[in-house]
Amino acid sequence: MNGLIVSVIVIFCFLYTANSIPYDYWTVRAQILTSEQKSMLGGQLDFKHDERIANDFLMTRKRAEFENAFKNSSLFLPGRNFLEARTDIKNSEVYKIIRTMPKGAVLHAHDTALVSADWIFWNVTFRPNLYVCESSKGLLQLRFFEKPDDNCSWKLLSDLRKNKSIVDTINSKIYKQMTMLTKNPEVDYKDVDKAWSKFIQIFAFITPMLTYKPVYEDHYYEALKDLYMDNIMYIEIRSTLPNLYELNGTVYSSLETAMVYKKTTERFMSDYPNFVGAKLIYAPSRKVDEKKFDEYLTILKALKEKYPTFLAGFDLVGQEDKGQPLIVFANKLRSLDPSIDYFFHAGETDWYGSSTDENLIDAVLLGAKRIGHGYALTKHPLVMEIMKQRGIAVEVNPISNQVLSLVKDFRNHPAAYLFANNFPVVVSNDDPGLWGSKALSYDFYLAFMGIMSQNSDLRALKQLALNSIMYSNMDVEQKNNALVVWKKKWCDFIEQLVNSSQAQQI
Amino acid sequence: MNGLIVSVIVIFCFLYTANSIPYDYWTVRAQILTSEQKSMLGGQLDFKHDERIANDFLMTRKRAEFENAFKNSSLFLPGRNFLEARTDIKNSEVYKIIRTMPKGAVLHAHDTALVSADWIFWNVTFRPNLYVCESSKGLLQLRFFEKPDDNCSWKLLSDLRKNKSIVDTINSKIYKQMTMLTKNPEVDYKDVDKAWSKFIQIFAFITPMLTYKPVYEDHYYEALKDLYMDNIMYIEIRSTLPNLYELNGTVYSSLETAMVYKKTTERFMSDYPNFVGAKLIYAPSRKVDEKKFDEYLTILKALKEKYPTFLAGFDLVGQEDKGQPLIVFANKLRSLDPSIDYFFHAGETDWYGSSTDENLIDAVLLGAKRIGHGYALTKHPLVMEIMKQRGIAVEVNPISNQVLSLVKDFRNHPAAYLFANNFPVVVSNDDPGLWGSKALSYDFYLAFMGIMSQNSDLRALKQLALNSIMYSNMDVEQKNNALVVWKKKWCDFIEQLVNSSQAQQI
């Protein structure tokens, strides 16, 4: 708690007696507001001259959106479901500014979920050797083959598309199986389980097609490009490290998949020198038995040996409520080489007091460097205190939490508490490709407009960018380098806003 | 922060170094869980022998509901809208136990909104001299007259009901105008403004009918009976103190309306001696100009003079976002006789950083004894700290917040944070009659099952009951008397649960 806050409390709680108000009302009121501003995310940053002009330009637009929405709350974009509000968000002036802002790093995102369904549809499904078959449940499967196996009655997709009477149906079916987009999100994804059921189906559908090695490389390269174009400079990507394949039947190990990430990152960095890098978080499914978990650990150790710096660490993925809680694997995880860092998903739930909820406790006790989601965090004051003391950041993914039905209206997102208290926090995007988002700007917009205070300003956005570098797994030298690149971009961004501001005044 | 919590933090944050874990994992884990339990609402109460048996009986039923719902979340009652879940809640074993529990006091409830639409329909609309007329907008108006005025084309309702071709239509129209109940709450009350629009219409419809003095008396008596039957023993009722009328044209002042409350309370207490009393919070509309506000203050001063102990204090009501913020009236309120207590609605909003949100600051600076709703409280760490230090309780009204569209799923209600931190809190019912609730048990059920931890137990419920007495406006003697009555009832309640538990084992 900062000094000003303490003094306000002292003034108010000890000098105040029930029958007299000895303090000056308006002075104390102003002090409380100032204290709250200072305690917020970004509240400890000072404006430099040009930043103040840029901030005014941003906040004029932010306030205009709020004023309209306060009069007519149906206009408030963060009060609607992202799946139907996203096209309107794209037109928001605040969103457009956030698009151009250098946002630093993406620290919570999943391998095959970063790129849009559009890209996969147009850039993957028209490739040669892609076969399709319909399962008994009416769901399609897609996979590349030189010569299809006998597990299904595979047909060459390009052949089927020649048939004009079915091409539209099949294309629309493929597209629908690749996206959470729907006209009735509140019916289709009425609760967490319903939303996750569709979410898991998408991964099951796209994985066999995307794990064809040449596609996997292109897909990851495209993911980096999307981020770069959105002014992101670094990523720590969580991957299950699936076994990739070639047409000739070759199947690659998880270690070789990691190599694809490493080499593709290097290729991207040589194409786009301002992109400062990527690291890998090995993050297989949490819904496994001990035997399978031991296999993970074998892979993890091998990864650490082969990619000591490219590997950031370990995590477990999948619907937390339905998978194994961390406690099941705690003893094994404690015995691991302590140089392997943890970035556990924990508390991605609204079941207060459940085993999922308790994952937050195990995550900090296991020494996690960051915590994924931590949606349930505000219910655990002691875990929050430990995280604050130890600088363990929480990775908040606003859109993900809404699409996967944890929260309906962003104004109810518990991260409001974290932002109000300048908690160590980063904002990330989780699986943008699966719900019609793109890179990070939509999540930043919704955090800024839907979860933070109306008074949170450019400094809050700047703090998010700085946090994303500070709480990354980069070493000191890498962080310093990243900060140099970021600061240059930040100055350009401010200059650009100042120019826009001046252009407007002419 | 209690001693155990501090020691856990010390152990964890200072002895732990990144490359070694010197503490015993399972001991520290258990300590964290224990600390969290101790920090929770009710966590500082100890079980007496019989309470433990009663608690086991309760918690077996609580856990069974959670286990079913964790497997199939569509079964989770607090995850659904109360307007459609209420009939299922009625069958819950946990709800049935809560019904029989002595819950103490209701400290946040509004005059004409306590009694069910059913009661008003059957006990008021069939009285003689009730006239009906249809406005240009197709809405009905109802009012008692000896001889109707010329403002509308009034018809005697009993006459219209003799016409069999229209009686069903008119009855159904009347009923619909008295209740928020609907088959599609999520469509009809899509946002706060839509919900409030209907909510205000109900008050506008029932007020002219209920303010007929004999009806007003019966209605308030019925409200007390509903509460008493639900094992409530005391109420602080907020009233706009509307002008009551007689058939002969007599109109009563607000002061005379207050007398109706006082006398009816006394009559009720002589009929039901275990009901320990009521106090009045004068709470007129916040959507007024300074001139009207001055009239309020004149009435308030007169009330204080005439009913120095029956009057608890002052508040302002109506949709907070659309009315005047407290700051507008702050100077006038500061200059009032300090023996008049305040119980302001504040922060009944999800607009973080708005003027409504800032009402929380003015409420504490004006010396409010309790705060109504405080839905936005968790966004204001400094206000929370002041409230905790000064023992200012927040009145949480779970169902109200859902029906009026602040929150969809109770698991996202911010009071979870307050419960986790044993914040000074009471649970109340606001306007149960308007949304098909009854007295307080449904709100207790939803707080206990939907907002608190799965591990919150009988002690949390007991603490809520104790808080409702402790944070009431009763004087020390009244509180002691109330506690004596309550403790006797509590012992009966525990005995009854123990008997049920034993009966089950036979």
- Record: contact B19-A73, CB cut-off 8 A: no
Q: Round to whole Å and give the CA distance between A31 and A10.
A: 12
Residues paired with A373 in a beta bridge: A346
Within-domain flag for A26: no
H or E, element range at B264: helix B254-271
Same domain? A469 vs A338: yes
H or E, element range at A109: strand A104-110
Does B392 touch chain A if contact means CB atoms closer than 8 Å? no
Contact A120, A219 (CB under 8 A): yes
Catalytic residue among B65, B320, B348, B395: B348
Residue A22 has pLDDT above 90, yes or no: no
Same domain? A175 vs A231: no
Residue B114 has pLDDT above 90, yes or no: yes
CATH number of domain containing B400: 3.20.20.140
Within-domain flag for B15: no
Does B367 touch chain A if contact means CB atoms closer than 8 Å? yes
Residue A79 has phi, psi (to 5 degrees) of -90, -10
- DSSP conformation class of A452: S
Same domain? A112 vs A181: no
H or E, element range at B130: strand B130-134
Lowest-confidence segment of A2-6, A59-63, B37-41, B432-436 by average pLDDT:
A2-6
Q: Containing domain of residue A129, as a range? A: 119-193
Residue from B320, B360, B322, B367 nearest B340 by CA: B367
For residue range A323-367, list pLDDT tens digits in order: 999 999 999 999 999 999 999 999 999 999 999 999 999 999 999
Query: Considering only CB atoms, which chain A residues are within 8 Å of B411?
Result: 350-352
H or E, element range at B37: helix B25-39
Minimal Cβ distance to A381: which of B357, B414, B421: B421
Same domain? B169 vs B228: no
H or E, element range at B105: strand B104-110
Same domain? B306 vs B359: yes
The interface residues of chain B toward chain A in range 405-444, judged by CB-CB distance below 8 A, are 406-409, 411-412, 414, 416-417, 420-421
Token reading at B319: 């949709």
Residue A17 has pLDDT above 80, yes or no: no
Name which of A321, A382, A386 to mutate to probe chain B: the one with the most chain B Cβ atoms within 10 A of its Cβ.
Answer: A382
For residue range A372-431, list pLDDT tens digits in order: 999 999 999 999 999 999 999 999 999 999 999 999 999 999 999 999 999 999 999 999
Residue A105 has pLDDT above 80, yes or no: yes
The interface residues of chain A toward chain B in range 1-30, judged by CB-CB distance below 8 A, are 5, 8-9, 12-13, 16, 18-21, 25, 28-29
Output the DSSP codes for B491-504: HHHHHHHHHHHHHH
Q: Round to whole Å and give the CA distance between A290 and A296.
A: 10
- Record: contact B411-A351, CB cut-off 8 A: yes
CA triple B121-B124-B128, angle to 5 deg:
125
- β-bridge pairing B155-156 and A232-239: unpaired
Same domain? B178 vs B214: no
Mean pLDDT of A187-216: 96
Same domain? A187 vs A283: no
Task: Report the length, in residues, of chain A.
Answer: 506
Token reading at A207: 């994985």
Same domain? B403 vs B450: yes
- Provide the annotated active-site residues of A: 348, 373
Tell me, what's the pLDDT at B214? 98
Q: Round to whole Å and give the CA distance between A186 and A407.
A: 11
Beta strands in A255-369 (DSSP E): 277-282, 311-314, 341-342, 345-346
Q: Round to whole Å and give the CA distance between A180 and A198.
A: 7
- What is the pLDDT of chain B when averaged over all its residues? 94
Contact B283, B240 (CB under 8 A): yes
Asked which of A135, A161, A193 is the last residue of a domain, the reply is A193
Token reading at B140: 């009905």
Buried b (16+ CB within 10 A) or exposed e, B47-71: eeeebebbbbbbbebbeebbeebbe
Residue A21 banded pLDDT, cuts 50, 70, 90: low
Buried b (16+ CB within 10 A) or exposed e, A100-118: bbbbbbbbbbbbbbbbbbe
For residue range B169-192, list pLDDT tens digits in order: 999 999 999 999 999 998 999 999
Residue with tokens 């099949």: A170
Residue A23 has pLDDT above 80, yes or no: no
Residue A259 banded pLDDT, cuts 50, 70, 90: very high
Within-domain flag for B9: no
Within-domain flag for A152: yes
What is the reported pTM? 0.95
Contact A142, A157 (CB under 8 A): yes
Within-domain flag for B362: yes
Contact A139, A204 (CB under 8 A): no
Tell me, what's the pLDDT at B73? 84
Residue B19 has pLDDT above 50, yes or no: no
Within-domain flag for A22: no
Same domain? A169 vs A290: no
Residue from A410, A483, A472, A409 nearest A444 by CA: A410
Contact A437, A443 (CB under 8 A): yes
Within-domain flag for B219: yes
Same domain? A379 vs A456: yes
- What is the pLDDT of chain A when averaged over all its residues? 94
Asked which of B193, B218, B236 is the last residue of a domain, the reply is B193
Output the DSSP codes for B462-476: HHHHHHHHHTSS--H
Q: How many domains does chain B have?
A: 2
Within-domain flag for B164: yes
Residue from A385, A328, A343 nearest A471 by CA: A343
**CA atoms lying within 13 Å on the CB side of residue A185:** 24
ipTM for the assembly: 0.94
Tell me, what's the pLDDT at B71? 84
Tell me, what's the pLDDT at A227? 98
Same domain? B344 vs B380: yes
Contact B429, A429 (CB under 8 A): no
Same domain? A103 vs A156: no
Mean pLDDT of A276-280: 98
